[in-house]
Chains A and B, each alone.
Chain A
Amino acid sequence: DQQVKQNSPSLSVQEGRISILNCDYTNSMFDYFLWYKKYPAEGPTFLISISSIKDKNEDGRFTVFLNKSAKHLSLHIVPSQPGDSAVYFCAASARETSGSRLTFGEGTQLTVNP
């Protein structure tokens, strides 16, 4: 049962344009959502998060949008830079979950072309 889904395995964007990465979830108990960035042979790096009481959170070039009714979140990167090329994972957790466990999607490979 894949509770967090990233349906696009890859995305290619031109430098300077917007990158939009999407994520869907099925568990209505999820109330905290995160995006991580991962380079090859490294651990994921936390990027940005949002709690379910908000519908938008912004940090520099990164903005996360949450649509609870659609059980959908997205990460916008504007403007995209070649250094943004990496695998992006979305993750979610539920307040009542023991150990504050996260459930991850399978990732989207973003390639930003110069």
Chain B
Amino acid sequence: SQTIHQWPATLVQPVGSPLSLECTVEGTSNPNLYWYRQAAGRGLQLLFYSVGIGQISSEVPQNLSASRPQDRQFILSSKKLLLSDSGFYLCAWSTGRQLQPQHFGDGTRLSIL
């Protein structure tokens, strides 16, 4: 069966520090991969998605970037964190086929001080 792993579960970082969140998927090949952010009391905002290695699409302009160095690895990064980057970050995967759901990891709670 397929599983998705995200780490760390929680992270406290100072303003201006770099960020690297990692997500890996097991049990499937060539998945679509996604990064979302959920601000407090809000819905899920899609940040990036990838349909293959090295292919990254950005949904909103921001202080973050994403990379997909391997088929089942998706990384969310920032060179200098802002206070507004605080939130709950979620990674998800799907098969990429039509009418298939996305499946989410357990998320990373990022607090910027």
* A binding-site residues for B, Cβ under 8 Å: 32, 34, 36, 41-46, 49, 51, 89, 95, 98-102, 104-107
B106 at the interface (CB under 8 A from A): yes
* Known contacts A43-B107, A89-B44: A34-B90 contact under CB 8 Å: no
B43 at the interface (CB under 8 A from A): yes
On whether the beta carbons of A89 and B32 are closer than 8 Å, the reply is no
Query: Could you list 6 A-B pairs, sorted by A, with CB under 8 Å?
Result: A43-B105, A44-B90, A46-B102, A99-B49, A100-B98, A102-B102
A65 to chain B: closest CB distance in Å? 18
A-B interface pairs (CB < 8 A), number:
58
- A44 contacts across to B, CB distance below 8 A: 44, 90, 104
A4 to chain B: closest CB distance in Å? 8
- A98 contacts across to B, CB distance below 8 A: 51, 57
On whether the beta carbons of B46 and A42 are closer than 8 Å, the reply is no
On whether the beta carbons of B57 and A99 are closer than 8 Å, the reply is yes
